[in-house]
């Protein structure tokens, strides 16, 4: 008809892609959740001083939290598939906030294990699996690495922001009040942003990163595994083992690096700044590494990351001065960033978007 212009109803990219909102919300969620976890090292010394507990007994609480986070990840993954990220991340915010508020009431070691190790640990289990898997569903696999890097960079931002903030709160108000403030803040922010999570539409409608969308869709569909099928593969257990090794390396250091700095004679503020340096350098590292994974492959990045962690741990044995600890934090940040982004991408490559 004359005077009418035909418009293609399908196939064009939308003016605004909601997947970027999902990435931003995932970033905020991991920033708050893992910032709380990383800041445990700042609370470590004040609790030991007040209660007279040993470092081994006190650090057992975060070991239990990591165990709970790992085991709870399976449950949270199932809940995420069934109810969606909005429900799971809302639960994450409630558990994290409650865990912090209850930890502030701790008087006995079993309470620390119950409130921090179990309650807060279960909240952490929902703070990684759900956001990262939801981000992966929104993007074509040639951009999964970069978007996963951005989402997980939130945890590094948490180390940068939360550790110095927790230190200042403790100096001003004590560790109990600090945990209450952090818990209430975490609950309000995470529960609020969780409402912006959405399930993606059909794969061929959202994963438009390449022109050949149909081939991407077919490739992703061919790689889908059920949980039971995954457990019968060697790759699944190798990946689990790698995650365990990675977790032991990362969290044992991040919990003890602030007390270690204080033992070396650093002030609490300077010791906490080592953790802040780790967080500050991890943010660009994860984004850059995510883009690198998309270009050269996750397995090479994974190998480089663990070599970097090994070298950083060797350097830590001789690090005594602040600049030496800052250098350790820089290399360790690069290594852990490489590890977490590469491992997350390997899971998507091996088993599909679960």
* pLDDT, position 297: 72
Selection from 10, 349, 33, 4 nearest residue 201 by Cα: 10
CATH topology of domain 19-351: Growth Hormone; Chain: A; (1.20.1250)
In the prediction, which pLDDT does 187 show?
95
211 pLDDT tier (thresholds 50, 70, 90): very low
Assess whether pLDDT exceeds 70 at residue 14: no
The mean pLDDT of 319-323, rounded to a whole number, is: 88
Closest to 348 measured CA to CA, from 83, 39, 129: 129
- Of 330, 334, 277, the residue nearest 301 (C-alpha): 334
Greater model confidence, 258 or 171: 171
**Side-chain-facing half-sphere of 127: CA atoms under 13 Å:** 36
The separation between CA 146 and the C-alpha centre of its own chain, rounded to angstroms, equals 15
What's the whole-number mean pLDDT along residues 90-97? 94
Domain assignments of the chain as residue spans, ordered by start: 19-351
pTM of the complete model: 0.72
Q: Within the chain, how many helices (H) and strands (E) appear?
A: 15, 0
Mean pLDDT lowest for which of 3-12, 174-183, 308-317, 345-354? Answer: 3-12
Tally Cβ neighbours within 10 Å of residue 346. 21
Q: Say if residue 116's pLDDT is above 90.
A: yes
- pLDDT, position 176: 95
Give 228's pLDDT tier (boundaries 50, 70, 90): low
Taking alpha carbons only, the member of 342, 238, 336 closest to residue 294 is 342
Contacts of 212 (CB under 8 A, 6+ apart): none
213 pLDDT band, cuts 50/70/90, is very low
**pLDDT digit string, tens, across residues 262-309:** 888 888 788 878 877 887 887 777 777 777 776 777 778 888 888 888
Q: How many of the other CB atoms lie within 10 Å of CB of 6?
A: 6
User: What's the CA gap between 326 and 331, in Å, rounded?
Assistant: 9
How high does pLDDT run on average in the chain? Answer: 80
Mean pLDDT value of segment 46-65: 88
Q: How many whole angstroms separate alpha carbon 273 and alpha carbon 43?
A: 14
The model's confidence at residue 105, banded by pLDDT at 50, 70 and 90, is very high
Residue 142 has pLDDT above 90, yes or no: no
Q: Is residue 215 scored above 60 in pLDDT?
A: no
pLDDT band for position 348 (cuts 50, 70, 90):
low
Residue 160 sits at φ, ψ, to 5 deg, of -70, -40
CA distance 82 to 86: 11
């Amino acid at each position: 008809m004359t005077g009418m212009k035909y418009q293609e109803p399908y196939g064009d990219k939308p003016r605004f892609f909601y997947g970027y909102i999902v990435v931003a919300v995932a970033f905020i969620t991991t920033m708050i959740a893992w910032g709380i976890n990383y800041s445990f090292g700042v609370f470590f010394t004040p609790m030991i001083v007040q209660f007279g507990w040993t470092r081994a007994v006190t650090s057992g609480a975060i070991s239990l939290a990591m165990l709970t986070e790992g085991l709870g990840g399976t449950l949270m993954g199932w809940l995420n598939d069934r109810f969606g990220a909005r429900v799971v991340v809302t639960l994450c915010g409630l558990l994290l906030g409650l865990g912090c508020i209850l930890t502030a009431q701790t008087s006995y070691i079993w309470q620390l294990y119950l409130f921090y190790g179990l309650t807060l640990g279960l909240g952490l289990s929902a703070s990684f699996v759900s956001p990262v898997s939801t981000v992966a569903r929104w993007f074509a696999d040639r951009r999964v690495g970069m978007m996963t890097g951005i989402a997980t960079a939130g945890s590094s931002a948490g180390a940068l922001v939360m550790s110095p903030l927790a230190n200042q709160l403790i100096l001003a108000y004590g560790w109990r009040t600090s945990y209450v403030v952090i818990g209430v803040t975490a609950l309000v922010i995470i529960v609020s942003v969780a409402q912006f999570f959405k399930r993606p539409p059909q794969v061929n409608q959202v994963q438009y990163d390449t022109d050949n969308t149909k081939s991407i869709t077919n490739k992703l569909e061919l790689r889908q595994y059920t949980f039971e099928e995954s457990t019968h593969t060697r790759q699944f257990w190798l990946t689990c083992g790698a995650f365990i090794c990675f977790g032991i390396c990362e969290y044992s250091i991040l919990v003890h690096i602030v007390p270690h700095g204080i033992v070396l004679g650093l002030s609490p503020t300077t010791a906490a700044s080592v953790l802040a340096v780790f967080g500050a350098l991890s943010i660009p590292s994860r984004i850059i590494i995510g883009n690198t994974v998309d270009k050269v492959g996750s397995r090479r990045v994974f190998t480089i990351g663990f070599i970097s962690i090994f070298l950083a741990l060797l350097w830590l044995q001789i690090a005594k001065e602040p600049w030496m600890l800052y250098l350790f934090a820089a290399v360790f940040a690069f290594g852990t960033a490489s590890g977490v982004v590469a491992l997350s991408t390997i899971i998507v490559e091996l088993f599909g978007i679960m």
